[in-house]
Amino acid sequence: MTARILRYSDLEVQLGLDRITIWRRMKCAPTFPRPIPLANGKRTTAVGFLADEVEAWIAQQAAARSANQA
């Protein structure tokens, strides 16, 4: 099985959020998917997000919305 990795630009499109909102969610929402480093080294800025984790988070948000509407 190969994990699909989303870069920030992919994540922005999939979630419909801009980069700063994604960053805020990472800092404030404990269930928001965490980035993974894409290069070795202390000063790397290249990160990605596992697509499976992002899709699971979206499903969790939809379930929470449905539970609140019931």
Over the chain (70 residues), the average pLDDT of each successive run of 10 is 90 95 94 91 84 96 84
The per-residue pLDDT for 1 is: 66
- Listed by start position, the domains of the chain span 5-69
How much is the pLDDT for 70?
A: 62
Q: What is the 3-state secondary structure (H, E, C) of the chain?
A: CCCCEECHHHHHHHHCCCHHHHHHHHHHCCCCCCCEECCCCCCCCCEEEEHHHHHHHHHHHHHHHHHHHC
